[in-house]
């Protein structure tokens, strides 16, 4: 990591919600762990006067609310990190666009991830997914339940291409090693349509699982010597990628994903990425695609990883 990047702050978007408070806790812990400063950002919408005067709200009122949200978040952050390492910024405009622009001056972007239903997200959109799909920096979605008291010492990374995962494993090992955590490398696979039932039903899952595990272990043999103290587990499962990764998130502190590298201009989040971002039970970090020179892992998630939750964790 370059000196320029390492000096850039951890940026956290705040909106006064419970998920936002969790994001501040996570971001403060990351800033403390990496020796960076913390920048709190709130985006106030640009006011457009309504047709009916009775519904009028002034930009001054909106900005005042934004400043209060920032003040409360700063008070929380300064209880976790030295006051001189915490700064605030009030921006005005489109929330996703402003956060993406602010991200260019950050090392990491942290946002609270709420668990609203599909209909609510359809109506209001998702700031987290929007920023994660466009940011040139890694974006972490933090659930409202996140707490440093419940860390499990596990970093999980999803691998789509077992035959091309050396760079990704190095990045994941760097992160796990820096945290003193175990690395769990997960690969999920399923054949499309009726072919899955036909082929897997006839020859079983074992040949597919064994081949994928062999490829990952072969790559690990090349990169693992640089991380002798880091425990690594390889897990290959037959099933929907989003569901497999969501279940893995329940035993993890951090789940690493990456945007697709082939979409213009900076990749595409993909169905699996969006699903895990909204339904993951731990902090989920979305990395820029491999084509972005700032980061170079090979992880690309399954194209057909649409998540269909059958149950919610109690």
Q: Where are the domains of the chain?
A: 3-148, 151-287
CA distance 62 to 46: 9
Q: Which residues have C-beta within 8 Å of that of residue 204, sequence separation ≥ 6?
A: none
Are residues 303 and 271 in contact, defined by beta-carbon separation less than 8 angstroms? yes
pLDDT of residue 292: 45
What sign has the CA pseudo-torsion 269, 274, 278, 280? negative
**Rounded alpha-carbon distances, angstroms, from residue 210 to 205, 206, 214:** 9, 6, 6
| CATH topology identical between 3-148 and 151-287 | yes
Span 3-148 CATH architecture: 3-Layer(aba) Sandwich (3.40)
pLDDT by 10-residue block (mean), the chain, 314 residues: 64 95 97 96 81 67 92 97 96 94 96 66 65 93 92 94 87 94 91 57 68 94 94 91 94 90 61 88 86 40 37 39
pLDDT of residue 89: 96
- Domain 151-287 is classified in which CATH homologous superfamily? HUPs (3.40.50.620)
pLDDT of residue 239: 81
pLDDT of residue 56: 66
Are residues 63 and 24 in contact, defined by beta-carbon separation less than 8 angstroms? no
pLDDT of residue 51: 56
pLDDT of residue 128: 92
pLDDT of residue 167: 82
CA distance 274 to 287: 13
Are residues 112 and 248 in contact, defined by beta-carbon separation less than 8 angstroms? no
pLDDT of residue 271: 83
Determine if the pTM surpasses 0.95: no
Convert the pLDDT of each residue in 45-104 to its tens digit: 887 666 556 556 777 888 899 999 999 999 999 999 999 999 999 999 999 999 999 999
Are residues 313 and 281 in contact, defined by beta-carbon separation less than 8 angstroms? yes
Convert the pLDDT of each residue in 186-200 to its tens digit: 998 776 665 555 556
> What angle is formed at CA 178 by the lines to CA 30 and CA 219, rounded to 5 degrees?
130
CA distance 243 to 158: 12
Q: What torsion, rounded to 10 degrees, do the Cα atoms 161, 186, 194, 267 define?
A: -50
If residue 233 lies in a helix (H) or strand (E), which one and from where to where? Answer: strand 232-238
If residue 11 lies in a helix (H) or strand (E), which one and from where to where? Answer: strand 10-13
> What angle is formed at CA 187 by the lines to CA 184 and CA 191, rounded to 5 degrees?
165
pLDDT of residue 115: 66
For residue 284, give the nearest of 241, 312, 253 by alpha carbon: 253
């Amino acid at each position: 990591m370059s000196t320029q990047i390492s000096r850039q702050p951890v940026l956290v978007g705040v909106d006064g919600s419970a998920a936002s408070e969790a994001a501040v806790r996570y971001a403060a812990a990351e800033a403390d762990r990496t020796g960076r400063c913390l920048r709190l950002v709130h985006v106030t919408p640009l006011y457009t006067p309504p047709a009916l005067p009775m519904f009028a709200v002034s930009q001054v009122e909106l900005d005042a609310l934004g400043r209060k949200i920032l003040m409360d978040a700063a008070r929380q952050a300064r209880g976790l990190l030295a006051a001189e390492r915490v700064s605030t910024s009030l921006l005005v405009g489109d929330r996703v666009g402003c956060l993406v622009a602010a991200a260019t001056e950050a090392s990491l972007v942290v946002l609270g991830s709420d668990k609203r239903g599909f209909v609510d997200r359809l109506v209001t959109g998702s700031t987290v997914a929007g920023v994660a799909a466009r940011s040139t920096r890694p974006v972490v979605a933090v659930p409202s339940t996140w707490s440093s008291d419940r860390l499990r010492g596990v970093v999980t990374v999803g691998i789509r291409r077992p035959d091309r995962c050396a760079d990704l494993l190095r990045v994941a090992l760097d992160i796990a090693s820096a945290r003193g955590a175990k690395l769990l490398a997960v690969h999920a696979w399923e054949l499309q349509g009726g072919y899955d039932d036909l082929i897997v039903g006839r020859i079983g899952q074992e040949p597919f699982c064994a081949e994928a595990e062999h490829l990952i272990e072969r790559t690990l043999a090349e990169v693992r010597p640089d991380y002798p103290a880091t425990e690594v587990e390889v897990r290959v499962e037959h099933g929907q990628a989003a569901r497999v990764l969501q279940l893995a998130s329940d035993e993890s502190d951090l789940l690493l994903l990456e945007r697709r590298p082939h979409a213009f201009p900076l990749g595409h989040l993909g169905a699996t990425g969006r699903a895990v971002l909204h339904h993951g039970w731990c902090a989920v970090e979305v990395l820029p695609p491999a084509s972005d020179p700032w980061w170079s892992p090979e992880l690309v998630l399954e194209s057909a990883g649409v998540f269909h939750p059958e149950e919610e964790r109690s």
